[in-house]
């Protein structure tokens, strides 16, 4: 391939800059508006691209112990517990399906693949959750979506790529399947576990429809339902919602943008720490054939 022309290089640079601006400018506007002063919001008539006198008043208001603080704690708890449980079950099921001689290997594999093509639907799932007595409980946010067939298939394919010589040597040394999984398979699978864990964490953190279906009590709402109610639906937040104890409520737009920032930042913070394990996990599994 020949060296690209100057025009082609400039055109690619312009397109890249425009794509970055399309992502960064709205995010900057959200963050800037959340920390802008009331006077600047009034003069700007809406969103602010650069705060002149940054203030954390809106964040102190939403984190003062009201509905937003409680919802954020719910989301953190559901995401943490749900991600750990989903990864553990996915690893166990995928490892069992990667061993041809495992109990009920074919029926379980066919059942997992069946879920990729056929979805039970909202009404049957709701009826099952109701019959199990999970309505208005935190378990309803985790158990119905505990395992993803796609994630199981991806992890099973990764386990099948692990050299069989390593597993056979472990069996010769007398290691059980659990010991083989813990001491050999898991250290070689950091990459796929990191990816699947990130998939589950993003799913639990961003999920609002399951909470909308199964949660009736507002004190059990996750953060995404707060975003839907007070940001998307533009429902005003009162002083009682923010637990300000008689203090003045910051501008609604500033409070709404602060809630959006709280909903976005955790994934942005966690992702770089997960990303560094991707390449490292792939290299750990390399062996000389």
- 206-245 pLDDT per residue, tens: 888 888 899 988 888 899 988 888 887 877 777 666 766 6
Q: Which residues contact 147 (CB under 8 A, 6 or more apart)?
A: 86, 89, 90, 93
Residue 147 confidence (pLDDT) above 60:
yes
Query: Cα–Cα distance between 263 and 226 in angstroms, integer?
Result: 10
Residue 184 has a pLDDT of 84
Stronger pLDDT, 247 or 80, i.e. the higher one: 80
Residue 286 confidence (pLDDT) above 60:
no
All domains of the chain in start order, with CATH:
1-55 (no CATH), 58-284 (1.10.3720.10)
Q: Give CA torsion, residues 46, 261, 269, 17, to 10 deg.
A: -20
Residue 67 has a pLDDT of 85
DSSP state of 163: -
Tokens matching residue 219: 């004190």
Residue 172 confidence (pLDDT) above 60:
yes
CA nearest to 250, candidates 55, 86, 119? 55
Residue 101 confidence (pLDDT) above 60:
yes
pTM given for the model: 0.83
Query: Cα–Cα distance between 280 and 283 in angstroms, integer?
Result: 5
Residue 175 confidence (pLDDT) above 80:
no
Residue 264 has a pLDDT of 87
Residue 255 has a pLDDT of 85
Q: Cα separations (Å) of 56 from 61, 150, 187, 234, 260?
A: 9, 42, 43, 21, 14
């Amino acid at each position: 391939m020949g060296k690209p022309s100057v025009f082609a290089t400039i055109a690619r640079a312009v397109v890249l800059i425009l794509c970055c601006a399309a992502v960064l400018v709205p995010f900057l506007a959200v963050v800037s508006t959340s920390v802008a002063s009331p006077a600047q919001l009034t003069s700007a008539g809406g969103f602010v691209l650069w705060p002149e006198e940054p203030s954390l008043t809106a964040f102190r208001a939403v984190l003062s112990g009201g509905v937003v603080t409680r919802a954020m704690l719910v989301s953190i708890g559901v995401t943490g517990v749900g991600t750990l449980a989903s990864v553990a079950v996915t690893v166990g099921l995928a490892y069992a399906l990667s061993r041809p001689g495992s109990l009920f290997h074919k029926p379980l594999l066919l059942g997992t693949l069946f879920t990729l093509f056929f979805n039970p639907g909202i009404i049957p799932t709701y009826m099952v959750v109701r019959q199990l007595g999970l309505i208005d409980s935190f378990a309803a946010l985790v158990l119905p979506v505990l395992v993803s067939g796609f994630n199981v298939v991806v992890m099973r394919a990764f386990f099948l790529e692990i050299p069989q010589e390593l597993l056979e040597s472990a069996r010769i040394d007398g290691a059980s399947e659990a010991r083989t999984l813990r001491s050999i398979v898991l250290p070689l699978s950091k990459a796929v576990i990191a990816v699947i864990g990130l998939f589950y964490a993003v799913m639990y953190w961003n999920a609002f429809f399951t909470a909308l279906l199964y949660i009736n009590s507002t004190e059990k709402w996750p953060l995404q339902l707060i975003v839907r109610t007070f940001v998307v639906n533009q429902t005003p937040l009162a002083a009682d919602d923010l637990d300000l104890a008689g203090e003045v409520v910051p501008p609604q737009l500033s409070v709404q943008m602060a809630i959006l920032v709280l909903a976005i930042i955790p994934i942005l913070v966690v992702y770089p720490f997960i990303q560094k394990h991707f390449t490292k996990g792939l290299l750990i599994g390399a062996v000389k054939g």
